[in-house]
Amino acid sequence: MADLAAHVGVSRQLVSLVLRDAPGASAETRRRVRAAAKELGFSPHVGARSLRRARSKDLGVVFAPAHSTEPEIVEAIYPAASALGYDVMLSAQTSTRSTDEAVDELLGHRCAALVVIGSTVDLRAIARRSHVPVVDVGFGRPNRYYDVVRSSGDLGIEQLVDHLADLGHRGVTYVDPTSMPPGALRRRGYERAVDRRGLTGDLLPVPGDYAAADYFSEAGATAARSLLDRPELPTAVIAPNDDTAVALLHTLIRHGARVPEDLSVAGFDDAPIARTSSVDLTTVRQDPAHLGAAAVRAAVRRVQNPDLHPRETVLDTSLVVRTSTAAPRRPRPRSRTAGQHVESAG
């Protein structure tokens, strides 16, 4: 910066003023400083800036690149933070890098607050040792140590069950990947709605390892095989995430079932895959942009007023009806040999 000042022929302080858009420099000087900065390829040293600055304007974000829904939230955080005058600093949590390591890096950068996306660990210890506000995005429970931002997974599933019941289904099967963190909440929504509508419940648990990259898909395929082994298919199946629903749907189709003629299939998330024309899945949308923006708001709220208590933000979900669900038909007898296919219905 001193070099730049010498190059323009003014003091370093004036350059500083210009670069942070502070008042007290003439238009002509601003122009010349900006031009010189661009010419010399100068960018201010973020470290020195954060060292000197009274309070940090950085938002630390911990996320897991491997989980398909998190990048969408990360994308949404950038414009939301920028609108409130904050910068974003990312830190990945991977199979070789624990949440604690990711958090420590961000604390070292003196972030004003931490946003932790989709974490499965208890954030209480982290909230205590980091002396900044912590926001959990995903599936935390309300508490007095950190904020929680999540979508209403239970109500979303209820919307799905209502949709299927309205179509005339008398029973709804629910595939439950038991290791899925938000699973318990969504399952409760299913149970509540089935009860309320007087439907026949049918819970199909699929255990597995949440850390495996293909756990959700594999759970759908497993569930489909399990259904195909039954003497009769259900008329409607819900999976609590789109990856599971899509794998379920394709495995069923591959073995001769028709969707939605033979059975309706619905998912949850409105992931990109659900929208493609080869799938066209009825699902529940939880808008990642809203989640990201709400997380930023929650963090900034507590940065600006540290005495406020952490709170829970629950975002509405919306039902997205596509062609994978329809009214049930009268059950038909079907052949069940693997690899064999049903005849054309004409």
Partner DNA sequence: GACAGCGACTAGCACGTGCTAGTTCCATCA
Partner DNA sequence: TGATGGAACTAGCACGTGCTAGTCGCTGTC
Q: Report the interface residues with its own copies, using CB under 8 A.
A: 41, 43-51, 65-66, 68, 70-72, 74-75, 78-79, 87-88, 90-92, 94-97, 104-105, 107-110, 129-131, 213-214, 217-218, 220-221, 224, 247-248, 250-251, 253-254, 256, 258, 272-273, 275-279, 335, 340-346
Q: How far is the CB of 275 from its own copies (least distance, A)?
A: 6
Closest CA to 301 of 112, 129, 91: 112
- From the list 44, 142, 171, 181, which residue makes contact with DNA (rule: CB under 7 A)? 44
Cβ distance 324 to 281 under 8 Å? yes
2 near DNA, rule: CB under 7 A: yes
Q: Which helix H or strand E contains 221, and what residues bound it?
A: helix 215-228
Rounded Cα distance between 102 and 43, Å, is 26
Complex with its own copies: residue 199 or 219, whichever CB lies closer: 219
* Residue 232 burial (CB count, 10 A): 11
Q: How far is the CB of 224 from DNA (least distance, A)?
A: 55
Residue 66's Cβ-count burial label (10 Å; 0-12, 13-18, 19+) is: middle
Q: How far is the CB of 277 from its own copies (least distance, A)?
A: 4
Furthest-apart CA pair in the chain: how many Å? 89
Complex with its own copies: residue 176 or 243, whichever CB lies closer: 243
Contact segment (CB under 7 A) with DNA among 42-50, 184-192, 250-258, 333-341 equals 42-50
Contact segment (CB under 7 A) with DNA among 48-56, 199-207, 236-244, 330-338 equals 48-56
Rounded Cα distance between 20 and 165, Å, is 59
Beta strand residue intervals within the chain, DSSP E: 58-63, 87-92, 113-117, 134-137, 147-151, 171-177, 200-206, 236-238, 264-266, 283-285, 312-315, 318-320
Binding residues (CB under 7 A) for DNA: these are 1-2, 10-14, 16-17, 19-20, 22, 24-29, 44-45, 48-49, 51-54
